[in-house]
Chains A and B, each alone.
Chain A
Amino acid sequence: EAGVAQSPRYKIIEKRQSVAFWCNPISGHATLYWYQQILGQGPKLLIQFQNNGVVDDSQLPKDRFSAERLKGVDSTLKIQPAKLEDSAVYLCASSLREAQYFGPGTRLLVL
């Protein structure tokens, strides 16, 4: 079974630039999550989708972050404009029932 795919794996941008991350969940998994993991901390949930609807985006900084999951499969997470404090690993996960399966993450560095 193919796992959760994410791209790119690494991204370096300057502050105030825009960036987008892509996630392809495990086939058949209705729930998709985006997490932000800052170095030395546990992952923080940014947004949770159930199919193409948003379940929880309470911790998403909506002034600069946006996410969509068109057609209830792939998802993109965008940051516009990026700040220095956005430097982190962005993890995508999907689940069918309870257990979440994670992708390798996208490591973002904002200079």
Chain B
Amino acid sequence: SQELEQSPQSLIVQEGKNLTINCTSSKTLYGLYWYKQKYGEGLIFLMMLQKGGEEKSHEKITAKLDEKKQQSSLHITASQPSHAGIYLCGADISRGTGNQFYFGTGTSLTVIP
């Protein structure tokens, strides 16, 4: 079973449009991270959320953490071709023997000029 589910799996948007990617956990989250990956490259750290209700922004990307819903959302405003790539959420998730870090299933974003 997947510890972190992302939706949608893939997204194709027109340049300039807004979009939202969701990351949902079935268990308690202890820190939620967002990464971006381009083909042939490593993961690029975007931002980290630690507290319920926390919201962070970097340029046109905003991420929020809803601790009660065990969910985070990543919102891109006025998307650009440079935003294209695979977005991955990652989180420390509680296991019986302690926390372990998991990645989500990934969301592939294509931005059409």
Contact = CB atoms under 8 A, between A and B. Distances in A.
Interface of A: 3-4, 6, 33, 35, 40-45, 48, 56, 58, 91, 93, 98-105, 107
Contacts, number: 54
Interface residues of B, number: 21
A42 B42 contact: no
Q: Chain B's interface: helix, strand, loop or mixed, by majority?
A: strand
Contacts of A91: 42-43
A99 B101 contact: no
A35 B45 CA distance: 15
26 contacts: A35-B103, A41-B105, A41-B106, A42-B102, A42-B103, A42-B105, A42-B106, A43-B43, A45-B102, A48-B101, A56-B100, A58-B100, A93-B43, A98-B31, A98-B48, A98-B50, A99-B33, A99-B45, A100-B45, A100-B90, A100-B101, A101-B45, A103-B42, A104-B42, A105-B42, A107-B40
